[in-house]
């Protein structure tokens, strides 16, 4: 059953909401709620016709900095699918844009940086993010926590490695050659850059948490390009800095990357309460590697295009594998693809909620 959701113009509560009955938060604590919670990465976005209608004529960044619009977009999948958590409509490069970097989100490509940062001068010119620069995002969070009822809100940020990769490569990269070259050739400069980006992520997450977000997810989308040795040396200290800085809020901290099956233990060691698993590794194997704990995942998003019998079998398999964990949050192994039929997502939510915990 879909939760009732009020208008995003409601009065905002002064303190963080108490949500004792939220299955998402219970599972994140390693408990067994009445049903397995489910939400989808990129659940708010191009798969929804109401999103496309609302966004028509509005750039991605304009939408991300418009409190009413970002709140409405965040609410759309809650109304339609009845998922157990909302995730803030934003983008991992929003704090870079807010700080004043010349960056754009190009349709069909992703974030593109006008002047890649590949030397000491570029690193030292990187601006510091002021909380006031993301205040409109925080305003959107405040609208949401006043509108979501009993549904938790997940805030998020990009992890230092993934943000650095965009800045160094100038955009999405298949091989991350410039990033890896700088990392190994100039480790001091790398750590300076990653440290600055960690500070930026902390500021962005803190703004969302101060406004009332109920959980956070740190996306290290490109960390799967690294060996575990490189991850532990060059990346883990900076992701740990971010996750440690928000530990005092007492909310679940989810850590997710793509192609990170060999890094799951290291990502957990960075300070994650919940480890996101992509579709390449069975959940029960992920739990074995982690030695227990709480996992999130991990339906292959491409299978949302398969026939219902095929998709149903996959959902049931993943749900069964998730029982090996102390807590399981059902999700995709990456984000919803743009061409997915929204009714399929709604049907998946219904099935997950019906399955025995």
The answer to whether the annotation marks 52 as part of a ligand binding site is no
Query: What would the two tokens of residue 157 be?
Result: 């940020």
C-alpha closest to that of 5 among 91, 89, 73, 90? 73
Q: Exactly one of 51, 55, 231, 273 is catalytic; which is it?
A: 55
The answer to whether the annotation marks 166 as part of a ligand binding site is yes
Residues in the chain: 357
Q: Exactly one of 166, 268, 273, 278 is catalytic; which is it?
A: 166
C-alpha closest to that of 220 among 191, 255, 264, 182? 255
Catalytic residue status for 166? yes
R_g of the chain, CA atoms, integer Å: 19
∠ at Cα 256 (140, 252), nearest 5°?
A: 60
The answer to whether the annotation marks 46 as part of a ligand binding site is yes
The answer to whether the annotation marks 71 as part of a ligand binding site is no
Catalytic residue status for 118? no
Q: Exactly one of 84, 91, 199, 273 is catalytic; which is it?
A: 91
Question: Is the distance from CB of 4 to CB of 322 less than 8 angstroms?
Answer: no
CA 95/CA 85 separation, integer angstroms: 23
Q: Is 301 helix (H, G, I), strand (E, B) or coil?
A: helix
The answer to whether the annotation marks 61 as part of a ligand binding site is yes
Residue 133: Cβ-neighbour burial (10 angstroms; 0-12, 13-18, 19+): buried
Question: Is the distance from CB of 250 to CB of 181 less than 8 angstroms?
Answer: no
Catalytic residue status for 46? yes
Q: Exactly one of 32, 46, 289, 317 is catalytic; which is it?
A: 46
The answer to whether the annotation marks 334 as part of a ligand binding site is yes
Element spanning 75, H or E:
helix 67-81
Catalytic residue status for 253? no
Angle between helices 187-210 and 236-245 (to 10 degrees): 20
Catalytic residue status for 104? no
Query: What would the two tokens of residue 184 be?
Result: 């190994």
Q: Which residues are catalytic?
A: 42, 46, 55, 91, 166
Binding site as annotated, residues for substrate: 42-46, 61, 91, 166, 221, 334
Residue stretches of the annotated binding site: 42-46, 61, 91, 166, 221, 334
């Amino acid at each position: 059953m879909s939760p009732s959701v009020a208008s995003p113009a409601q009065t905002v509560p002064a303190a963080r909401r108490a949500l004792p009955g939220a299955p998402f938060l219970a599972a994140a604590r390693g408990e067994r709620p009445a049903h397995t919670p489910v939400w989808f990465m990129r659940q708010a976005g191009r798969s929804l016709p109401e999103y496309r209608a609302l966004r028509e004529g509005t750039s991605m960044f304009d939408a991300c900095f418009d409190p009413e619009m970002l709140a409405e977009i965040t609410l759309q999948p809650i109304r339609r699918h009845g998922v157990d958590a909302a995730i803030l409509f934003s983008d991992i490069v929003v704090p870079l844009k807010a700080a004043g970097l010349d960056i754009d989100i190009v349709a069909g490509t992703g974030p593109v940086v006008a002047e890649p940062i590949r030397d000491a001068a570029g690193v030292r010119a990187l601006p510091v993010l002021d909380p006031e620069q993301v205040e409109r995002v925080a305003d959107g969070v405040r609208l949401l926590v006043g509108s979501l009822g009993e549904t938790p809100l997940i805030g998020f940020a990009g992890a230092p490695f993934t943000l650095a990769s965009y800045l160094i490569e100038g955009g999405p990269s298949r091989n991350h050659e410039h990033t890896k070259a700088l990392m190994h050739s100039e480790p001091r400069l790398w750590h300076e850059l990653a440290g600055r980006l960690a500070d930026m992520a902390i500021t962005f997450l803190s703004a969302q948490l101060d406004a009332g977000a109920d959980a956070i997810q740190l996306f290290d989308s490109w960390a799967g390009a690294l060996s575990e040795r490189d991850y532990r040396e060059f990346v883990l200290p900076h992701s740990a800095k971010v996750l440690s800085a928000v530990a005092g809020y007492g909310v679940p901290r989810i850590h997710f990357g793509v192609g990170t099956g060999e890094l799951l233990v290291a990502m957990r060691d960075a300070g994650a309460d919940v480890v996101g698993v992509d579709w390449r590794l069975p959940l029960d194997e992920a739990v074995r590697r982690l030695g227990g704990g709480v996992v999130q995942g991990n339906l292959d998003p491409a299978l949302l295009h398969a026939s219902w019998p095929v998709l149903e079998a996959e959902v049931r398999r993943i749900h069964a594998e998730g029982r090996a964990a102390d807590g399981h949050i059902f999700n995709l192994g990456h984000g919803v693809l743009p061409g997915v039929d929204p009714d399929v997502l709604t049907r998946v939510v219904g099935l997950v909620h019906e399955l025995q915990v």
